[in-house]
Amino acid sequence: MQKRRLGRTELIVPILGFGGIPIGERCTAEEAERTLRAALEEGIVFYDTARAYKESEARIGKAFKKVREKVILATKSRERTQSAILREIDASLSDLATDYIDLYQLHAVDSEDDLEAVLSEDGALQGLKRARQRGKIRFIGVTGHNPEILIKACKTGEFDTVQVPVNILDRFIFRPEEALLPTARSMDMGVIAMKPLAGGTIKELDLALRYTLSQDIDVAIPGMGSIKEVLDNVGVARRFEPLDEASFDRLLKEAKALGTEVCRQCGYCQPCPQGIEIREVFRLEGMFDRYEQKEPARVGFRNLIDSGSNPAECAECGECEQRCPYHLPIRRKLKKAVEKFLRA
């Protein structure tokens, strides 16, 4: 697999990394362990997780405890103050079963308020620097979905890496390719591409991943929750060639047909006070609409309702929409999904 230099960290990373949401949230412990072991065997070295990804850190820690030196561990926290992030780092060290973390990132720095808070005198950045001095972490990164804010973060010169969605759908929404990636490069920062498969919405996995790998990024981190997903992604990364014009046009056609209201499966809208598993509803809807898996989607929807997560019980509070980085009309989309599954 091709390798790239992760900016000024000087870490050399294979172009395919591992996104840690699925192993923390939709796998059993055994599935997660099998998936992580397969990923390492197939040459994936860079593992990205977060305090917010439920069991993800602990499962990565368990799988790689005995082979710590073979992997690069990246995690992140949404805490914004020095004292709170220092506690989070200690919790990450414990869950990841290690005495150092290669890259610790400020998670979802998406607004001016977020940026101001983390950069303040008693903000999270100061906590990360103290942890770095003590040898608990090696490098400091920032993640988010708002290129304007991330550009400001990059220009502070404080961060070694930036993590942002880079995929064919977000090319027309966040447009990271236009100014953010060149700014990060001018600061010699590493670039980590999240959501290369746009949350699984693009059917042509090969083209979607090749699109991301063709941009000026160092490592793409699709979420993986099974050995099959590992093997599929590794296959594409090993054969990687930049997208030619005809393939790009085909991918663009598929992206345009998806429209602008597609859920990217990031989960930032959760938790819902009514207990609605919003991301799962939209995942099932995607299976129903795009993947010719109508019956499994119907069964999944019924199971969801039986487990107490009924989208018809949305109280319209709007909290989820405030948290969605894509500003999706979640309430309207949930109603549509309910009607669709009730009719089906």
Provide the binding-site residues for ligand SF4, judged by CB under 6 A: 263-269, 272-274, 276, 278-279, 282, 314-320, 324, 326, 328, 330-331, 334
How big is the chain by its Cα radius of gyration, in Å?
A: 19
Q: Which is nearer to ligand SF4, 88 or 277 (CB)?
A: 277
CB 6 within 8 A of CB 190: yes
d(CA 312, CA 295): 20
Q: Which is nearer to ligand SF4, 240 or 326 (CB)?
A: 326
C-alpha 194 chain-centroid distance = 5
216 burial type by CB count under 10 A (0-12 exposed, 13-18 middle, 19+ buried): middle
Q: Which is nearer to ligand SF4, 36 or 338 (CB)?
A: 338
Residue with tokens 């030619």: 244
Q: Which is nearer to ligand SF4, 71 or 314 (CB)?
A: 314
Q: Which is nearer to ligand SF4, 3 or 336 (CB)?
A: 336
CA dihedral of residues 96, 224, 330, 317 (deg, nearest 10): -20
Q: Which is nearer to ligand SF4, 242 or 318 (CB)?
A: 318
Q: How far is CA 151 from CA 18, 144, 161, 181, 197, in A?
A: 25, 10, 12, 9, 23
> Of the listed 47, 53, 104, 268, which one is catalytic?
53
Give all strands of the β-sheet with 219-221 in edge-to-edge order: 18-19, 46-48, 72-77, 101-106, 137-143, 161-165, 190-194, 219-221
Q: From the CB of 325, what's the least distance to ligand SF4, in Å?
A: 6
Name the DSSP letter for residue 150: H
CB 87 within 8 A of CB 136: no
d(CA 22, CA 45): 17
d(CA 335, CA 238): 42
Is 268 annotated in the active site?
Answer: no
d(CA 178, CA 256): 19
Helix axes 294-306, 278-290, angle to 10 degrees: 160
Q: Which is nearer to ligand SF4, 98 or 167 (CB)?
A: 167
First vs last C-alpha separation in the chain: 44
Task: Give the residue numbers annotated as catalytic, written as ranges.
Answer: 53
